[in-house]
Amino acid sequence: MQTDLIRIGTRGSALALAQAEETRARLMAAHGLPNDAFEIVVISTSGDRIQDRPLSEAGGKGLFTKEIEEALLSGGIDIAVHSSKDMPTMPPDGLELSAFLEREDVRDAYIGRAAPKLADLPQNAIVGSSSLRRQALVRRLRPDIEMVLYRGNVQTRLRKLAEGVVDGTLLANAGLKRLALDHVITELLPVEAFPPAPGQGAICIESRIGDRRVLDLIAPISHERTTQALSCERAFLATLDGSCRTPLAGYAQIDGDALSFFGMILSPDGRQVHEIRREGKADDARAIGLQAGADIRARAGSQFFESWT
């Protein structure tokens, strides 16, 4: 396939660059294109620059995408590569999530300094995380543990851990594997007890709606089962809260034509939990996610959200 230079927009962290490089490698293999048919364009985002407070207080998930999406809309880049779990549920007008690469392991990884397993941490240990979901899940399992805000890229968090700032931290196994850092993991947390964020482990590509040149380019690397699973998970997220304010988990699995979904919402302290399971056809992924979200919202009641937002 012959094409003009394709400019791939990404954040500048080591993980974001690894994801952009993986996307470029898949496109090269799919079309027989050379490395220099692509340019990786690093774009600084507000989410990267704000390190002193939770994203929920600073503006939500869109802080990791705003500047990249502005470059995409203006024509400065041709595609944007993101971590799917960082994406707001509604892209800006004119843009769409047009491809999802085959998903990596969805599990969370615990990296411990004081103890190799989360359950074995001493009383009142300190664990660092910037994720409200991870904070709430840890508090659910170990109410004695002190959770502290822990921002920064993967390398920064691992350095702080080594320096003794915290006794342990949690990161996505997928990201550690993409950085060849999975050797630092001391425990992989089971999905049943520690379900992932919607979209965790999947790389997505964002493009301009109707850009046929780009759509034809990326179509061969889009993974159908991952796309179906994330359609369900993101629909579940959209019915609840598409920002960083709600501790929630959602995971859809595809087996042939069948889909099974598990969702959870928690209060920030982990004391209140609502879970839901749904099954159906993979072709109905979005509808299953929307219904699961509506059902769990009705079950929890408005007071569940109003009591702590």
Please list the alpha-helical segments (H only) found in 61-119: 66-74
> Which of 36, 48, 52, 86 is the catalytic position?
86
Q: For residue 218, which phi and psi values (nearest 5 degrees)?
A: -90, -15
Count of beta carbons in the 10 Å neighbourhood of residue 6: 21
In angstroms, the Cα distances linking 255 to 2, 9, 183, 272, 286 are: 36, 33, 30, 31, 16
Q: Which residue has the tokens 């999975």?
A: 182
CA 136 to chain centre: 17
Please indicate whether residue 48 is annotated as part of the active site: no
Q: Facing residues of 38 across strands?
A: 6
In angstroms, the Cα distances linking 243 to 54, 59, 60, 62, 239 are: 12, 8, 5, 8, 11
Do 247 and 135 meet the contact criterion of CB atoms below 8 Å apart? yes
In angstroms, the Cα distances linking 87 to 133, 202, 259 are: 15, 11, 22
Which bin fits 301, alpha (ψ -120 to 50), beta or left (φ > 0)? left
Which residues does the annotation mark as catalytic?
Answer: 86
